[in-house]
Amino acid sequence: MSVSSLKELLVEEIKDLYNAEGQLIKALPKMAKAAVNPDLKAGFLKHLEETRGHVVRLEQVFKLLGEPAKGKLCPAMKGLIEEGSEGIEENEPSALRDALLIGSAQRVEHYEIAAYGTVRAFAEKLGEDKVVKLLQQTLDEEGATDKKLTELSDIVNEEALSASESE
Ligand code: FE
Ligand code: FE
Protein backbone atom coordinates (compact mmCIF):
# COMPACT_ATOMS: atom_id res chain seq x y z
CA MET A 1 0.00 0.00 0.00
CA SER A 2 1.45 3.35 -1.04
CA VAL A 3 -0.08 6.41 0.61
CA SER A 4 0.85 10.07 0.68
CA SER A 5 -1.11 11.50 3.64
CA LEU A 6 -2.61 10.52 6.98
CA LYS A 7 -6.08 11.07 5.52
CA GLU A 8 -5.31 8.66 2.68
CA LEU A 9 -3.93 6.11 5.14
CA LEU A 10 -7.15 6.42 7.18
CA VAL A 11 -9.26 5.80 4.06
CA GLU A 12 -7.14 2.77 3.05
CA GLU A 13 -7.47 1.25 6.53
CA ILE A 14 -11.24 1.85 6.48
CA LYS A 15 -11.43 -0.02 3.15
CA ASP A 16 -9.54 -2.92 4.74
CA LEU A 17 -11.94 -2.97 7.70
CA TYR A 18 -14.98 -2.71 5.44
CA ASN A 19 -13.85 -5.85 3.64
CA ALA A 20 -12.90 -7.60 6.91
CA GLU A 21 -16.37 -6.94 8.41
CA GLY A 22 -17.99 -8.22 5.22
CA GLN A 23 -16.00 -11.45 5.47
CA LEU A 24 -17.19 -11.82 9.07
CA ILE A 25 -20.84 -11.49 8.09
CA LYS A 26 -20.30 -14.64 6.01
CA ALA A 27 -18.22 -16.48 8.63
CA LEU A 28 -20.25 -15.83 11.80
CA PRO A 29 -23.35 -17.87 10.78
CA LYS A 30 -21.02 -20.86 10.16
CA MET A 31 -19.41 -20.38 13.56
CA ALA A 32 -22.84 -20.14 15.21
CA LYS A 33 -23.92 -23.32 13.43
CA ALA A 34 -20.77 -25.13 14.55
CA ALA A 35 -20.96 -24.10 18.23
CA VAL A 36 -22.34 -26.71 20.65
CA ASN A 37 -22.59 -24.51 23.75
CA PRO A 38 -25.92 -22.61 23.47
CA ASP A 39 -24.47 -19.40 24.97
CA LEU A 40 -21.60 -19.48 22.49
CA LYS A 41 -24.05 -20.05 19.63
CA ALA A 42 -26.23 -17.14 20.81
CA GLY A 43 -23.12 -15.00 21.28
CA PHE A 44 -22.03 -15.54 17.67
CA LEU A 45 -25.53 -14.68 16.41
CA LYS A 46 -25.62 -11.54 18.55
CA HIS A 47 -22.23 -10.49 17.21
CA LEU A 48 -23.46 -11.16 13.67
CA GLU A 49 -26.16 -8.52 14.21
CA GLU A 50 -23.60 -6.12 15.70
CA THR A 51 -21.28 -6.79 12.76
CA ARG A 52 -24.01 -5.73 10.32
CA GLY A 53 -24.09 -2.49 12.32
CA HIS A 54 -20.29 -2.16 11.99
CA VAL A 55 -20.68 -2.26 8.22
CA VAL A 56 -23.34 0.47 8.37
CA ARG A 57 -21.08 2.64 10.58
CA LEU A 58 -18.18 2.22 8.15
CA GLU A 59 -20.49 3.34 5.34
CA GLN A 60 -21.25 6.45 7.41
CA VAL A 61 -17.50 6.96 7.90
CA PHE A 62 -16.90 6.78 4.13
CA LYS A 63 -19.62 9.37 3.65
CA LEU A 64 -18.15 11.72 6.27
CA LEU A 65 -14.75 11.40 4.59
CA GLY A 66 -16.25 12.09 1.17
CA GLU A 67 -15.20 8.69 -0.20
CA PRO A 68 -17.19 5.95 -1.93
CA ALA A 69 -17.91 2.91 0.28
CA LYS A 70 -15.56 0.40 -1.27
CA GLY A 71 -13.63 -2.44 0.34
CA LYS A 72 -10.19 -3.80 -0.38
CA LEU A 73 -9.38 -7.44 0.34
CA CYS A 74 -8.11 -7.94 3.88
CA PRO A 75 -5.85 -11.03 3.61
CA ALA A 76 -5.30 -11.04 7.39
CA MET A 77 -9.00 -11.60 8.10
CA LYS A 78 -9.16 -14.17 5.32
CA GLY A 79 -6.37 -16.13 7.01
CA LEU A 80 -7.95 -15.91 10.47
CA ILE A 81 -11.27 -17.16 9.10
CA GLU A 82 -9.55 -19.96 7.16
CA GLU A 83 -7.81 -21.23 10.29
CA GLY A 84 -11.14 -21.22 12.13
CA SER A 85 -12.98 -23.11 9.42
CA GLU A 86 -10.20 -25.72 9.23
CA GLY A 87 -10.72 -26.28 12.95
CA ILE A 88 -14.44 -26.77 12.37
CA GLU A 89 -13.95 -29.19 9.47
CA GLU A 90 -11.24 -31.30 11.10
CA ASN A 91 -13.07 -31.91 14.39
CA GLU A 92 -16.37 -33.38 15.53
CA PRO A 93 -18.75 -31.05 17.41
CA SER A 94 -17.67 -31.03 21.09
CA ALA A 95 -16.68 -28.76 23.96
CA LEU A 96 -13.12 -29.14 22.70
CA ARG A 97 -14.09 -27.81 19.28
CA ASP A 98 -15.98 -24.97 20.99
CA ALA A 99 -12.74 -24.11 22.83
CA LEU A 100 -10.98 -24.01 19.47
CA LEU A 101 -13.75 -21.83 18.03
CA ILE A 102 -13.48 -19.35 20.89
CA GLY A 103 -9.74 -19.14 20.26
CA SER A 104 -10.23 -18.26 16.63
CA ALA A 105 -13.08 -15.83 17.41
CA GLN A 106 -10.87 -14.02 19.92
CA ARG A 107 -8.07 -13.73 17.35
CA VAL A 108 -10.60 -12.03 15.06
CA GLU A 109 -11.79 -9.65 17.81
CA HIS A 110 -8.22 -8.73 18.72
CA TYR A 111 -7.43 -7.99 15.08
CA GLU A 112 -10.49 -5.73 14.91
CA ILE A 113 -9.67 -4.03 18.21
CA ALA A 114 -6.16 -3.24 16.95
CA ALA A 115 -7.42 -2.00 13.58
CA TYR A 116 -10.24 0.16 15.01
CA GLY A 117 -7.86 1.59 17.62
CA THR A 118 -5.48 2.59 14.84
CA VAL A 119 -8.10 4.26 12.64
CA ARG A 120 -9.66 6.02 15.63
CA ALA A 121 -6.24 7.52 16.45
CA PHE A 122 -5.82 8.69 12.82
CA ALA A 123 -9.30 10.24 12.83
CA GLU A 124 -8.59 11.98 16.14
CA LYS A 125 -5.40 13.51 14.75
CA LEU A 126 -7.30 14.65 11.64
CA GLY A 127 -10.00 16.31 13.77
CA GLU A 128 -12.70 14.05 12.30
CA ASP A 129 -14.77 13.99 15.48
CA LYS A 130 -17.88 12.34 14.02
CA VAL A 131 -15.73 9.59 12.56
CA VAL A 132 -14.01 9.09 15.93
CA LYS A 133 -17.40 8.69 17.60
CA LEU A 134 -18.58 6.06 15.12
CA LEU A 135 -15.33 4.09 15.33
CA GLN A 136 -15.42 4.22 19.13
CA GLN A 137 -18.94 2.74 19.20
CA THR A 138 -17.76 -0.24 17.17
CA LEU A 139 -14.57 -0.55 19.21
CA ASP A 140 -16.69 -0.77 22.38
CA GLU A 141 -18.75 -3.62 20.90
CA GLU A 142 -15.64 -5.51 19.77
CA GLY A 143 -14.20 -5.13 23.27
CA ALA A 144 -17.41 -6.35 24.93
CA THR A 145 -17.51 -9.35 22.58
CA ASP A 146 -13.93 -10.26 23.44
CA LYS A 147 -14.71 -10.03 27.15
CA LYS A 148 -17.80 -12.23 26.73
CA LEU A 149 -15.72 -14.82 24.86
CA THR A 150 -13.19 -14.87 27.71
CA GLU A 151 -16.02 -15.54 30.18
CA LEU A 152 -17.43 -18.34 28.02
CA SER A 153 -13.98 -19.87 27.53
CA ASP A 154 -13.72 -20.53 31.25
CA ILE A 155 -16.84 -22.73 31.14
CA VAL A 156 -16.11 -24.34 27.77
CA ASN A 157 -12.46 -25.13 28.60
CA GLU A 158 -13.60 -26.79 31.82
CA GLU A 159 -16.06 -28.95 29.85
CA ALA A 160 -13.33 -29.79 27.32
CA LEU A 161 -11.02 -30.81 30.14
CA SER A 162 -13.55 -33.11 31.86
CA ALA A 163 -14.43 -34.68 28.50
CA SER A 164 -10.76 -35.47 27.81
CA GLU A 165 -10.28 -36.89 31.33
CA SER A 166 -13.25 -39.24 31.03
CA GLU A 167 -11.89 -40.76 27.82
FE1 FE B 1 -16.71 -5.85 13.78
FE1 FE C 1 -16.08 -8.33 15.88
- The string of pLDDT tens digits covering residues 54-86 is 999 999 999 999 999 999 999 999 999 999 999
Query: What's the whole-model pTM score?
Result: 0.95
- 167 Cα–ligand 1 center, Å: 38
Q: What is the pLDDT of residue 164?
A: 85
Ligand 1 midpoint to CA 112 (Å): 6
Q: How far is the CA of 145 from the centre of ligand 2 (A)?
A: 7
Band (166; pLDDT cuts 50, 70, 90): confident
In the chain, the domains with their CATH numbers are 6-165 (1.20.1260.10)
If you count them, how many residues does the chain have?
Answer: 167
Please, what is the average pLDDT of the chain? 97
